Amino acid sequence: MWLLRSLSRIAGISGIAWGSLAGPERAWHWLFLTGLMAGGLLAHNVIGQPMPAESAAPLWLIAATGLLVGLGTRMGGGCTSGHGVCGLGRRSPRSLVATATLMTLGVVTVFIMRSVTGGAV
């Protein structure tokens, strides 16, 4: 809400990350991303939550899925934080469709993966 009120910007992480690399107003993008990471680190230290286990997936698979997520984000005009949190909060019909599509495809993907792997996902 602060970002929307102060800069009239939606706090969609993919757009902010892209803007930190290619946008004309890079300074606030970097500050936002730094604060996001610092907040996560602070919460981790205060709560004492252990670090997540390292993924056993091969690096090529992680890179490929990251590229596909990035492509989908660009095609969908935003990510889950932009559409699901900010867009739904603003009652955007476009965000409702995007979020419903994302959630439906997520459920279908988990169903398929559990069917293929026999429940071990």
Residues 13-43 have pLDDT tens digits of 888 888 888 878 888 889 989 998 998 888 8
Tokens for 113, please give them.
């993966």
Domain span including residue 103: 2-117
Between these two residues, 97 and 71, which has the higher pLDDT value?
97
Model pTM above 0.75: no
Whether the per-residue pLDDT at 54 is higher than 80: the answer is no
The number of folded domains in the chain is: 1
The number of CA neighbours under 13 Å toward the Cβ of 27 is 1
Using 50, 70 and 90 to split pLDDT, how confident is the model at 121? low
